[in-house]
Structure 1
Amino acid sequence: MVLAQDEDHGNKHVDLAPSIYRQRLVIEGRRELPIGDKDIQEYLSQLSDVCGMTLLIDPVTHRSDRFGWAGWVHWETSGAHFYAWESPLVFFSVDIYTCLAFEPSTAVSFTKSYFDATHITSKAF
């Protein structure tokens, strides 16, 4: 096995599988009201349609007493994770990873609207 090591400690990304399409989007936001499991399940189901993805299983959620709600959805072309905090502030973070192209701005607009977010930010890569 050959391991590649970046001389600048991670500032340079090397695409180890250029023949495999990958797209990622992180969306983070704040809102007034806490987010519960039903909100997460419905959001991830609708996000699937918004991004043009095929669901393989219904969204799954779990609550940590320490950190709050989390959810995940499995798509035929990868999936998305959702994390929701209630403390120290109401905050959410969505990680989308796919092997099928989708429009990031559509996912961000949908997320902002769905959660009535007071603040939202995103990064596509």
Structure 2
Amino acid sequence: MGKDGAQWFETASIDRYKLLKEFAKENRRHMTDAEKVLWKVLRQSKCSFKFRRQHPIYDYIADFICLEKRLIIEVDGAYHCEPQQQEDDQIRTDILSDMGYKVLRFTNDEVLSSPHTVLNMIKDEINNK
């Protein structure tokens, strides 16, 4: 452990880690309905890999991440359909991909209407790694 109680799995930029950690804690307290549903199915699944929610990585906070499999799951609300947000999301995905992470994106509607289908897609990705 580091001097501030941080562990080896810190993945955020060191100069922003504390700030991102606080944002992540706040995000965990105020998850969207879709994030709550996905978190529940991830925790209840028979998946043998651990997921973290609202985890700081680089300059971002991933909705869900499996560090062992280097897999990030993003649950996107309606504003992700806006052209500028789509461009920002692609930049973020490219940066995380360059860091060796696979990013899967699902809409709120996909998660809320078919959470087990989303879970199966996540499991398929894990099993293909």
Alignment TM-score > 0.5, same fold: no
TM-score by length of 1: 0.33
Choose between structure 1 and 2 for higher RCO, CA contacts under 8 A separated by at least 6 residues: 1
Specify which structure has the higher proportion of helix.
Answer: 2
Bigger Rg, which one: 1
TM-score by length of 2: 0.32
